[in-house]
Amino acid sequence: MVMGRPRVHDRDQIAQELILWAQLPDSLNMNAFCTSRSPCLSPTVLLDMVAGDKDSYLAESYTIAKSFLATRREEANAAKELSNVAYAQNLRAYDKINEAQWKEELKFEKALDKETATESAKIAESKFTDVLDQLAGLSKRKIADKSTKSDTKS
């Protein structure tokens, strides 16, 4: 028998309400869902519930609701009902496909940066070795010049 504090919120009920709310034509922002409920639901509590059980009906409903919102936000932005700033700043928060593409681009850029850094390090090392070789050559020449001068004095 599992003991512990009983859950305060019915996750299945919240999941159902979330999907119904996301389908409303004026739903644009996940925070609005939290404040439109009675009693209100803290966005932090909602996120904790979703994160606590990634395979739950609530987590799936949350992702579906964000998908509804992503579509509606894009339409509102195109119709100039949502500012470009509000749309762009939250694009990845609502659009999972855009987020996945962004993560792939970020991975590619990091790999490219790492490759570029490696190539730069190789070039720098090669140039440093060339400078050391030149210095060694100059040092040998200087020693040879000194010995030639001392031979001519004798």
Residue 19 lies in domain: 9-94
Residues 14-25: what's their mean pLDDT? Answer: 96
Determine the average pLDDT of the residues in 11-31.
94
Q: Count of CB atoms within 10 A of residue 117's CB? A: 10
DSSP-H helix ranges across 8-95: 11-22, 30-36, 43-52, 57-78, 84-89, 91-94
**How much is the pTM?**
0.61
Q: How confident is the model at residue 129 (pLDDT cuts 50, 70, 90)?
A: confident
Q: For the chain, how many structural domains are there in total?
A: 2
Quote the pLDDT of residue 7. Answer: 66
Residue at 3 is within a domain? no
Q: How confident is the model at residue 16 (pLDDT cuts 50, 70, 90)?
A: very high
Residues 23 and 90 in one domain: yes
Q: Classify residue 80 as left (phi > 0), alpha (psi -120 to 50) or beta.
A: left
Question: Is there a single domain that holds both residue 90 and residue 101?
Answer: no
Give me the pLDDT at residue 153, please.
61
Of 51, 76, 94, which residue constitutes the final position of a domain? 94
Q: Is residue 1 part of a domain?
A: no
Is 100 found in the same domain as 52? no
18 and 87 belong to one structural domain: yes
- Supply φ then ψ for residue 9, to 5 degrees: -110, 140
Give yes or no: residues 28 and 88 share one domain. Answer: yes
pLDDT in tens, 106-115: 787 887 787 7
- Examine the domain organization and report whether 112 and 89 are in the same domain: no
**Do 80 and 26 sit in the same domain of this protein?**
yes
Q: Does 84 lie in the same domain as 21?
A: yes
> 100 and 90: one domain?
no
**What would the pLDDT profile of 57-102 be if each residue is shown by its tens digit?**
999 999 999 999 999 999 999 999 999 998 888 887 888 777 777 7
More confident: 28 or 128: 28
pLDDT digits (tens, 9 = 90+) for 23-53: 999 999 999 999 998 889 999 999 999 998 8
Whether 125 and 149 map to the same domain: the answer is: yes
